Structure 1
Amino acid sequence: MARKSLGNIRRSFAPWADPAAIPQVRFESVTKRFDDIAAVSDLTLSLYPGEFHALLGPSGCGKTTLMRMLAGFETPDSGRILLDGQDLAGIPPHLRPTNMMFQSYALFPHMSVFDNIAFGLRQGNLKREAIAARVAEMLALVKLEGFAGRRPDQLSGGQKQRVALARALARQPKVLLLDEPLGALDKKLREETQYELMDLQAELGLTFLMVTHDQDEAMAMADRISVMERGRIAQVGAPEEIYEMPANRYVAEFVGDINVFEGVVDEVKGEIISLDGRHGPIILDDPDPSLAIGQTVSVAIRPEKISITLEEPAQPTNKMTGEIWDIGYLGDFTMVQVKLDGEAGQLVRVALPNRSRRAERPIAWEDRVWLSWDVEAGILLRG
């Protein structure tokens, strides 16, 4: 698929920030139980026209169940699901203006690429000429012209994924549902396909709802992410909001690597909070008028926000010392684990970008080092 810049489109797209914006999809207090287990519990969520939304969470958190209820494969026990203002209750899957692309692609092995894409169109009793024209349009859209006569076993993983996508789009759904759409692809192809899907979604102007447990995938592709935990939404926001301003400890620990330090509030002055931490004083810039002196709180620091030096930093706070415990070279960056001094011996992860082509490491196992960070780097965890 041809690439194009999405910068201007994605920067300006934020209908959820407009109080007058009307959602295209609305989950209202939706609950779904399987026996005594609530897969989805009293969940409310709005999706807006043209949004690429990701449901992110671990296995069993309810994200796939939520998507299947929108598709019509599961029925809510309570609550409503609206699409363009219409209650979807009682409408079977094949009559809903949605279509799903399954993780396994679910291609018919005995059918050609053409017939796989045409299958849903034939259920709609379209004329043969109209079906042929639509299939040709879909093959061109996913850059598979010339593949119409092949069977699925004659295709690569990436080509199968494109056929499944073409089949899902052929009936022109209002909302496309993607269930772990890139899970079967290798890492390099998965990364390439992420941007192709983003381009295609922007070109078509459709609403995409994607289920994934891959945080990098959600962060790269989605306009907004709903992080789910035990059938509920822990936080909804743009990728940078989820990463830089997690609503609670669960979100902070699930999305990206994180270091968590405990401390007791000893001063609140404007937006600056001072803590008496186990490994030294901590200061952070995170206004919270509800904090009280003497309150125990948690502070999160992302590994890439921490500096590591052999010499003690001049700053009086936000610094700790310890010993290099482990080093992992990952190509674009090196992940270092430092065991802090003290009885607890907390391990702290530090991400060091590999900016130069050097064979030697600036630090080595068992080196004594100092860790430090800016006051803006700390995230006060509120739950």
Structure 2
Amino acid sequence: MRALPLAQLRERTSEKWREYPADVLPLFVAETDFPLAPAITHALDRAVRSGDTGYVASRTPLAEAFAGFAQRRYGWSPEPARMRSTADVSMGIVEILRRVAAPGDRVIVNPPVYPPFFELVEEAGAVVERVPLRDTGDEWELDLVGIRAALEDGARAVLLCNPHNPTGTVHSAASLAALADLAVEYGAAVVSDEIHAPLAQPGAAYTPFLAVSDAARQVGYAIVSASKAFNLAGLKCALMVTAAEDTSRVVRGLPVEVEWRTGQFGMLAAVAAFSEESDAWLDGLLVTLDENRRLLADLLAEHLPGARYRMPDAGYLAWIDLTGLGWGANPSKRILREAKVALHFGPAFGAEGAGHVRLNFGTSPEIITEAITRIAALRAHDPHDA
């Protein structure tokens, strides 16, 4: 799969292409540079031509479409009757947290983690409890000892990122099952953001949280969307998925407006994305992302040998440690100012992000190569490299 030409991408009006001037290569926000899946283009074109631009219906094929997708891609069979849609994953997280955590309750997050997690917990009226991922030197993993301690001390929920953003970690089934057992033991809920799940590489052994065990089904809520894999963030559609009567009752009890915030175009596009017709497109995207993550590793080894990078198991976001270059706690600022490459600021992901950057490689090999070449040129101006 080839990305669109740079000149065509610069005609886009989304955040990625409007935040910075035209001399900046934007590799920060999680948008991709590929053409839409043909089934999505067809569905949206048909809707525009027929004027199908009203309110989202109370009954749509979305839940059934996702159930079919989950069965084909993950071997998981969620029940459509236990799903409700909403505008996006963040909204689903907030609405569920409001009902599983009382004001002032603590919610566990695992930094470095998607920056809005900190704000979403607060928006729900809860308090962030930080239990960072464990860095084993080879991979990142959930700190189950730390999570147990936080739950024992009164934390009421875990906001999980599965697969994890920004590290691209696919949490093992064993660690997810252990997390579920802890949640049952301490009467806590697990709210799992699984927006990057369709982008898990073959062989990465991605497991949906609700599929891992009976305990997970008892305590878990999953929020899923086609938006990251199929580049549909602006169309506003996500699904809140449950697998037990108690958790389903919570989601069924949400105000009708939570569901009505689903975008009509988002629903139509998601149904097309989750259809079998889009499977080949998604498979092609995964091949391209695999090539790009390996290209990035080669470029960093050649041009920035002081950088530390582990290829992600899922997604198109690279978590890169630039501490060894001596560019400070937030190297993205210098890179933007001097190299004209926009990366996501590492410290935004938590204190563990100091010295790090997040780079979006969901683009062309040419843009990735140009970005790393520009960044590497900064070393020529460093006193210790002179």
Q: Same fold (TM over 0.5)?
A: no
Q: TM-score, normalised by structure 2?
A: 0.25
- Which of the pair has the greater relative contact order for Cα pairs under 8 Å at 6+ separation? 2
Q: TM-score, normalised by structure 1?
A: 0.25
- Greater Rg, structure 1 or structure 2? 1
Q: Which has the higher helix share?
A: 2
Q: Which has the higher strand share?
A: 1
